[in-house]
Amino acid sequence: MTYTCRNCKRTFTSELQYELHRDTCSADALVCERCGEQFSERQATRDGWHYACPTDGCEGSGRGEDLHPVHEFSVAVDTR
Protein backbone atom coordinates (compact mmCIF):
# COMPACT_ATOMS: atom_id res chain seq x y z
CA MET A 1 0.00 0.00 0.00
CA THR A 2 1.22 3.52 -0.72
CA TYR A 3 0.47 6.68 1.25
CA THR A 4 0.26 10.09 -0.45
CA CYS A 5 0.71 13.45 1.27
CA ARG A 6 -2.20 15.77 0.47
CA ASN A 7 0.02 18.85 0.70
CA CYS A 8 3.01 17.96 -1.45
CA LYS A 9 1.82 14.80 -3.26
CA ARG A 10 4.89 12.76 -2.21
CA THR A 11 4.24 9.06 -1.85
CA PHE A 12 5.51 6.70 0.84
CA THR A 13 5.59 2.93 1.04
CA SER A 14 5.16 2.74 4.81
CA GLU A 15 2.66 4.35 7.12
CA LEU A 16 5.45 5.32 9.53
CA GLN A 17 7.39 7.21 6.83
CA TYR A 18 4.20 8.98 5.83
CA GLU A 19 3.30 9.96 9.40
CA LEU A 20 6.80 11.30 10.07
CA HIS A 21 6.65 13.34 6.88
CA ARG A 22 3.14 14.60 7.61
CA ASP A 23 4.33 16.03 10.94
CA THR A 24 6.67 18.40 9.08
CA CYS A 25 4.80 19.05 5.83
CA SER A 26 2.51 22.04 5.66
CA ALA A 27 0.45 23.63 2.88
CA ASP A 28 2.30 26.85 3.74
CA ALA A 29 5.68 25.23 3.10
CA LEU A 30 7.91 26.12 0.16
CA VAL A 31 10.21 23.91 -1.90
CA CYS A 32 13.42 25.14 -3.50
CA GLU A 33 13.74 24.07 -7.13
CA ARG A 34 17.55 24.34 -6.97
CA CYS A 35 18.36 22.23 -3.91
CA GLY A 36 15.07 20.36 -3.36
CA GLU A 37 14.77 21.32 0.31
CA GLN A 38 11.40 22.05 1.92
CA PHE A 39 10.99 24.76 4.55
CA SER A 40 8.38 27.05 6.03
CA GLU A 41 7.54 30.29 4.26
CA ARG A 42 8.57 32.13 7.43
CA GLN A 43 12.12 30.72 7.16
CA ALA A 44 12.44 32.04 3.59
CA THR A 45 11.63 35.71 4.20
CA ARG A 46 12.30 38.43 6.71
CA ASP A 47 10.04 41.09 5.26
CA GLY A 48 7.30 39.11 3.48
CA TRP A 49 8.41 40.57 0.17
CA HIS A 50 11.83 39.10 -0.67
CA TYR A 51 12.27 35.33 -0.55
CA ALA A 52 15.47 33.26 -0.51
CA CYS A 53 16.23 29.62 0.23
CA PRO A 54 17.48 29.31 3.83
CA THR A 55 19.67 26.27 3.02
CA ASP A 56 23.40 26.98 3.43
CA GLY A 57 25.12 27.27 0.08
CA CYS A 58 21.92 27.42 -1.97
CA GLU A 59 21.28 30.51 -4.08
CA GLY A 60 17.62 29.80 -4.80
CA SER A 61 15.44 32.89 -4.51
CA GLY A 62 12.19 34.43 -5.60
CA ARG A 63 8.79 33.03 -4.82
CA GLY A 64 7.46 31.57 -8.04
CA GLU A 65 10.97 31.55 -9.56
CA ASP A 66 13.13 29.09 -7.59
CA LEU A 67 10.81 28.78 -4.57
CA HIS A 68 7.39 27.21 -5.03
CA PRO A 69 4.49 26.41 -2.69
CA VAL A 70 4.67 22.74 -1.81
CA HIS A 71 1.19 22.03 -3.21
CA GLU A 72 2.30 23.31 -6.66
CA PHE A 73 5.57 21.42 -6.71
CA SER A 74 5.93 17.92 -8.11
CA VAL A 75 8.86 15.58 -8.30
CA ALA A 76 9.55 13.72 -11.53
CA VAL A 77 10.21 10.03 -11.00
CA ASP A 78 12.57 8.17 -13.30
CA THR A 79 10.81 4.95 -14.26
CA ARG A 80 13.62 3.45 -16.35
Residue-wise pLDDT for 24-34, tens only, equals: 776 678 999 99
Enclosing H/E stretch for 16: helix 15-24
- pTM of the full predicted structure? 0.62
Is-contact 64 31, C-beta < 8 A? no
pLDDT in tens, 1-10: 888 887 677 7
Give every CB contact of residue 43 below 8 A, 6+ residues apart in sequence: 54
